[in-house]
């Protein structure tokens, strides 16, 4: 297995069409990545390995949004959390509460906030990485004793942020805005897609996407494909060990993923 972080050469076009990529992100997030890969001369297909289902608005969710001005910091975990969170906030706050420090995991999440006039600190910008570990390294999140912090996220997922910030003395609340659901495909759907199109690289931008992909993927096919993951943590998952080679991107954003494809292209797929 090859674990390798990549330089940012995502703007360089591919020199061959041997790269044939499967993108496993949710549908709306997959479209721009597929388009970027295709624009650089490679082939790409999408088969979402997670569906995003918004949480039905209830009184508990409304109460949390109405209490937004009580928080010193708000951490937004994903693009979906940003999109859905801002929708709820706009319903109840004609003007955004002031004196809140916003944080975003990933450049796309930060972009969602920026497009709504919210300046957010992004660990990907500050630490060249985009995960929760990078966010927790930020100086402004070290001394948080007594501060109220709200985390906008999906149901389930890792508890690292909440647990660590509580251990540092913060009062942390989590607001789940959506649920990640494993898609219900015919058992041979993924294997047939890979065989029909000669797919040789699979992009997974989270551990959950990797686990769901592995559930559908025949072991023999995983040994024929390269795998791209967003972090060393995901690369260490048991599901990653079955692949021919594993490459670690600098986060889950489009540029980081395409940069790895350039590396795979230059090294060859044999």
pLDDT at 253: 84
What is the C-alpha to C-alpha distance for residues 89 and 58, in angstroms, rounded to an integer? 14
Question: Does residue 270 surpass a pLDDT of 90?
Answer: no
What is the C-alpha to C-alpha distance for residues 246 and 237, in angstroms, rounded to an integer? 11
State mean pLDDT over 62-90: 96
Least confident of 10-14, 42-46, 137-141: 10-14
pLDDT at 133: 86
Q: What percent of the chain has pLDDT over 90?
A: 72
Question: Does residue 233 surpass a pLDDT of 80?
Answer: yes
Question: Does residue 56 surpass a pLDDT of 50?
Answer: yes
pLDDT at 108: 82
Average confidence score pLDDT of the chain: 89
Query: Three-class SS of residue 255?
Result: helix
Q: Measured on CA atoms in the order 155, 161, 165, 170, is the torsion positive or negative?
A: negative
Q: Measured on CA atoms in the order 199, 200, 204, 208, is the torsion positive or negative?
A: positive
Question: Does residue 98 surpass a pLDDT of 70?
Answer: yes
State mean pLDDT over 54-80: 95
| Residue 45, φ and ψ in degrees, nearest 5 | -130, 155
The pLDDT tens digits for 170-224 are 999 999 999 999 999 999 999 999 999 999 999 999 999 999 999 999 999 999 9
Domains, the chain, with CATH or none? 20-49+185-267 (3.40.50.10090), 53-181 (3.40.50.10090)
pLDDT at 5: 44
pLDDT at 124: 64
State mean pLDDT over 127-133: 67
pLDDT at 91: 94
pLDDT at 9: 45
pLDDT at 245: 92
What is the C-alpha to C-alpha distance for residues 98 and 36, in angstroms, rounded to an integer? 37
Least confident of 49-63, 92-106, 178-192, 251-265: 251-265
State mean pLDDT over 121-125: 76
């Amino acid at each position: 297995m090859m674990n390798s972080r990549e330089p940012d050469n995502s703007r360089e076009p591919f020199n061959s069409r041997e790269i044939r990529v499967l993108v496993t992100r949710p549908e709306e997030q997959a479209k721009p990545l597929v388009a970027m890969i295709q624009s650089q001369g490679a082939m790409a297909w999408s088969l979402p390995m997670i569906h995003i289902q918004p949480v039905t608005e209830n009184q508990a969710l409304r109460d949390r949004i109405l209490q937004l001005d009580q928080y010193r910091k708000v951490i937004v975990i994903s693009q979906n959390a940003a999109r859905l969170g801002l929708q709820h906030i706009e319903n109840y706050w004609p003007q955004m509460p002031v004196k809140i420090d916003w944080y975003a995991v990933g450049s796309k999440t930060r972009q969602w906030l920026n497009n709504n006039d919210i300046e957010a600190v992004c660990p990907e910008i500050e630490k060249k990485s985009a995960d929760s570990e990078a966010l927790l390294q930020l100086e402004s999140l070290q001394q948080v004793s007594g501060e109220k912090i709200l985390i906008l996220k999906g149901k389930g997922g890792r508890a690292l942020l909440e647990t660590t910030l509580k251990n540092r003395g913060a009062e942390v609340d989590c607001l789940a805005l959506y649920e990640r659901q494993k898609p219900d495909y015919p058992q041979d759907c993924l294997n047939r897609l890979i065989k029909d199109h000669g797919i040789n690289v699979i992009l997974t931008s989270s551990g959950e996407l990797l686990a769901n992909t592995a559930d559908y993927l025949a072991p023999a096919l995983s040994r024929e494909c390269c795998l791209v993951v967003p972090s060393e943590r995901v690369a260490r998952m048991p599901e990653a060990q079955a692949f021919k080679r594993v490459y670690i991107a600098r986060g889950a954003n489009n540029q980081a993923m395409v940069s790895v494809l350039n590396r795979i292209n230059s090294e060859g797929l044999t």
